[in-house]
């Protein structure tokens, strides 16, 4: 934006006026009317001061004329020029660019793998068979199994088979872990009433 402040250039005519009688020498082309205008004096006063009869008066070069109460105007031109100020205003324009980089959405993916247990093993069969037993009976059952076979479903001692060393006839030829658990519970319940009682008998007799 360009702003220019300028003050108008003014010329002042300052007149130094001095009221006095002036004597002028007539030059070729001068006139009384001209003197009247130049010295700011009425024509009648110039005529009266010089005793001029306008009916037959002739103004000649070299002649002297008195100008009464002449106002000598000395034009004094005073030129006042205001300084011109040119001011350039350049508003600062600051552009701020901010780049915000958003991270790509990366939703967390939780993968949960559940591995289904394998088909029932001998251990799970044993656990299932003892779930309904009290803590003491479960401990007694495990104790007897360890004494009889070391806890092995495949143990074989002639007429006695499996983890609890039951007779083959009692197992009816089914030597699976599940049948061994089921047959052992039935045998102890029918003979001793509980595994704890069977353990007590075993401890006294070396068998149950």
Residue range 76-130, pLDDT digits in tens: 443 434 344 445 445 444 444 454 455 444 444 444 444 434 334 455 555 555 5
pLDDT attached to residue 13: 38
Residue 71 · residue 17 · CB < 8 Å:
yes
Helix axes 195-205, 177-191, angle to 10 degrees: 80
Residue range 174-187, pLDDT digits in tens: 999 999 999 999 99
Among 109, 79, 87, which Cα is nearest to 6's?
87
pTM metric for this prediction: 0.40
Among 28, 17, 36, 85, which Cα is nearest to 59's?
28
Distance CA 147, CA 160 (A): 14
Query: Is the model's pLDDT at 68 over the cut of 60?
Result: yes
| Bridge partners, 13 (sequence order) | 77
| Bridge partners, 75 (sequence order) | 15
Residue range 152-173, pLDDT digits in tens: 999 998 889 999 999 888 898 8
């Amino acid at each position: 934006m360009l702003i220019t402040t300028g003050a108008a250039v003014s010329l002042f005519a300052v007149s130094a006026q001095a009221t006095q009688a002036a004597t002028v020498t007539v030059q070729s082309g001068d006139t009384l009317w001209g003197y009247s205008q130049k010295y700011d004096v009425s024509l009648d006063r110039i005529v009266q001061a010089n005793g001029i009869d306008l009916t037959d008066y002739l103004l000649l070069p070299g002649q002297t004329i008195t100008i009464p109460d002449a106002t000598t105007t000395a034009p004094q031109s005073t030129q006042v020029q205001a300084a011109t100020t040119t001011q350039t205003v350049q508003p600062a324009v600051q552009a701020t660019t901010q780049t915000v980089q958003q991270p790509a959405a990366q939703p967390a993916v939780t993968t949960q793998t559940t591995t289904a247990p394998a088909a029932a093993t001998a251990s799970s069969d044993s656990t299932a068979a003892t779930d309904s037993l009290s803590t003491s009976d479960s401990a007694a059952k495990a104790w007897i199994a360890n004494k009889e076979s070391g806890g092995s479903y495949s143990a074989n001692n002639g007429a006695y088979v499996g983890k609890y060393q039951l007779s083959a006839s009692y197992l009816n030829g089914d030597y699976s872990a599940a049948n061994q658990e089921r047959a052992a519970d039935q045998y102890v319940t029918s003979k001793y009433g509980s595994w704890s009682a069977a353990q007590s008998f075993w401890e006294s007799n070396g068998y149950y």
